[in-house]
Structure 1
Amino acid sequence: MNKSINAAVYEKHGNPADVLQIESRPWPVPAADEAVVKMRAAPINPADLNQIEGKYPVRPELPATPGFEGAGVVVELGAEVKSLTTGALVILPHNVGTWRDAVAVKAEELVVVPDGIAPVQAAMLKINPLTAWRLLHDYVDLQKGDWLIQNAANSAAGRDVIQIAHELAYKTVNIVRRAELIDELRAEGGDIVLIDGESLREDVKNATRGASIRLGLNSVGGDSALRLANCLVPGGTLVSFGAMSLQPLKIPTGLLIFKDLRFRGIWINKWYDNATPSERMEAFRPLFEMARRGLLKTRVEKAYPLSEVKAAVAHAAQSKRSGKIILEFE
């Protein structure tokens, strides 16, 4: 076993491709209640880039290793750990910094992945699929055949919403900005895919034959979010979990008075921190089952070794990608 590891490190906030460096660190030694996890894969999420830039609500003490998400294999156990076995594939918590070869983690914070799920897919189950699951369960009591609407439907989280909603027999109206995405998202299970624009409300009404839509999912903000809100029935709920446009959501008073809309938000890391281990597993269990059956799968555009982290984060920052950029480990 190697006596040292490589880790991505930044000592100051800034453009990720400029401030990230690869540094050698001692091989982690587990405390009595910890396990050493050898990383297999870690995605590069927008939140990772935002944290490196200093634009994320949580700023770790510097120098820091980024990475909110990842999966790896348990290779060593602390003296008091009885709940794990070496060789188990596990999902890591979001507070350890996953962009490194190996890390020591409290055993109780690791989630064991069942057989039949590839490490790369396991590494991407904790943020976007878990967000999608919570969006579909925590705000509106949806029944089979009910409609929901979302913007940025081609994002990783948007695709997860499509796949999970399809499995649960909910119907989705999916809003995008590029026509070439329409057939692609329909093939993934999206019931209706429309181009965003000023006529969205009428377009949605025509496409759904006037269906009642009680849930809207917003990850864009600004005018796009407002157009979603205008598609909801009185008493509907708009849940925000992102702000890709970097524009504020300005809510006309009439939507509150005359439509009595609810405006909510979710930050999945906060939900995860507040959830009990049993609540976390209750959410993971159906995601594991869908992933094992191939019904929940995140697209990957390119995998990079940790040594090429600068190129990886530059690639991840580009728009119009066809999938996630990930770090893979030997």
Structure 2
Amino acid sequence: MILIIANATLTIMPMRARRAPACRLLAVTFDVGCCAGDMTKNIIAAVYETHGNPADVLRIETQPWPKARPGEAVVQVRAAPINPADLNAIEGKYPVQPALPATPGFEGAGVIVDLGPEVTNVAIGALVILPHNIGTWREAVSVKADELVAVPPEIEPAQAAMLKINPMTAWRLLHDYVELKRGDWLIQNAANSAAGRAVIQIAHDLGYKTLNVVRRAELIAELRADGGDVVLVDSEALRDEVKNATSGAPIRLGLNAVGGESALRLANCLAPGSTMVTFGAMSLQPLKIPNGLLIFKDLRFRGIWINKWYDNATMQERMEAFRQLFEMAKRGLLKAKVEKVYPLSEVNAAVAHAAQGKRSGKIIFEFNDL
């Protein structure tokens, strides 16, 4: 992270991080039907050869059925969401860039249908979360078997496909920076985003109270129904509204996914000695913090990129976090909202839809059995 002190303002600009590996498989099996290991089939995949507007540069390409080499498993993809990072990567604006031509998709889930030699720790029929950065917008893919995370059978593929990035980010935000207790308050902007909704659901289960800042009043009732304790529309009066809503209770954790003026208003709501964690920059504006918030309030500013957490975490830490997320999902307490499902053949319409504002949920691809 680069800190630039100019006059009386501290500017925090985004940083680039390195790619992280995914996680290991746990054995759970499902019926895959008659398609398993059928290498006579072709698949379709979304491909881009140049960076640009995703709706303009993406095309559908027919490819051979993937082969499982030693240590690999072939996974038939069942669902894959469209995340902002996917669109940024296609545009050429993301820190991790594959060689072109490339298939996009940082997240997805599918069923193992074939195993290569030397694979003994996984089973055909396992529903698994796919590794990061392998390009999930395709019907099938061959991956290293020990980079897969098996999913309990109670969780449907579409929800499994959306667990690895946003819910895991939310889990880390609530566990790694401030030790909160039941009844403690936290505040976040972009509360209607996928990560923001996951924060609401996880915090509610843990007994934390959430102040949720949004840009549109029509989201208030929806986020309250999801478990948000207080939902406020962002404005210059935010600090006073927060104080009234909490009866002046201290807020020791702020979660920033917007940057710019929204982040500054969030920081002004925090108690002395508190921490703000930035995990997104939706406004595309730098985070400008007056020096007084550092000198007189001793605020701490941190950042998280979930790729880097996967890179640094031990296998035990990853699996324990997934176990917790799986348990919540099985109980119906952690569920990503979906606005529309598209077939991969409509990839251009899907990414155009995903790029629009004022959505009520994720845009995802779902795949039929091959």
**TM-score, structure 1 normalization:** 0.99
Please report how far the alpha carbon of residue 59 of structure 1 lies from its aligned counterpart in structure 2 after TM superposition.
1.2
Residue 83 of structure 1 and its aligned partner are, at CA, apart by 1.3
Correspondent of 1:312 among 337, 350, 364: 350
Mind listing any 5+ residue stretches in structure 1 that lack a counterpart?
none
Match of 1:194 among 210, 213, 232: 232
Q: CA RMSD in A?
A: 0.7
Partner of 1:236: 274
- CA shift, 1:274, in A, is 2.2
CA deviations 1:155-195 (Å, max 9, x no partner) are 11100000000000000000011111111111110001111
CA-CA distance at 1:82 after TM superposition: 1.3
1:79 lines up with 2:79 in the alignment:
no
Q: Report percent identity of matched pairs.
A: 78
Deviations 1:265-323 (A, max 9, x none): 00011111222222111111111011111110001111111111000000000000111
Specify the alignment match of 2:205 in structure 1.
167
Partner of 2:128: 90
Q: Which has the higher contact order (CA 8 A, sep 6+)?
A: 2
Counterparts of 1:306 and 1:273 in 2: how far apart (Å)? 30
> Is residue 44 of structure 1 aligned with residue 71 of structure 2?
no
Please give the alpha-carbon distance, in whole angstroms, between the structure 2 residues aligned to 1:266 and 1:282.
19
For residue 363 of structure 2, give the secondary structure of its aligned residue in structure 1. Answer: strand
1:178 aligns with 2:216: yes
* Aligned amino acid, residue 129 of structure 2: I
What is the CA–CA distance in structure 2 between the aligned matches of 1:93 and 1:227, rounded to whole Å?
A: 36
Residue 292 of structure 2 aligns with an amino acid whose one-letter code is G
Work out whether 1:143 is the aligned partner of 2:181: yes
Shift in Å, 1:200? 0.6
Structure 2: distance between partners of 1:26 and 1:187: 46
SS in 1 for 2:132: coil
Partner Cα separation in structure 2 for residue 300 and residue 325 of structure 1: 6
- 3-state SS of the aligned residue for 1:251? strand
DSSP 3-state at the match of 2:289? coil
Aligned to 2:298: 260
TM superposition outliers: structure 1 runs of 4+ over 4 Å:
none
In 1, distance between residues paired with 2:140 and 2:293? 50
Query: Which amino acid letter does the alignment assign opposite residue 175 of structure 2?
Result: H
Q: 2:42, 2:314 → 1: CA distance?
A: 34
**What secondary structure sits across from 1:260 in the alignment?**
coil
Q: What pairs up with 1:1-330 in 2 under 5 angstroms?
A: 1=38, 2-330=40-368
Unaligned runs of 5+ in 2: 1-37
Q: Which amino acid aligns with 2:256?
A: N
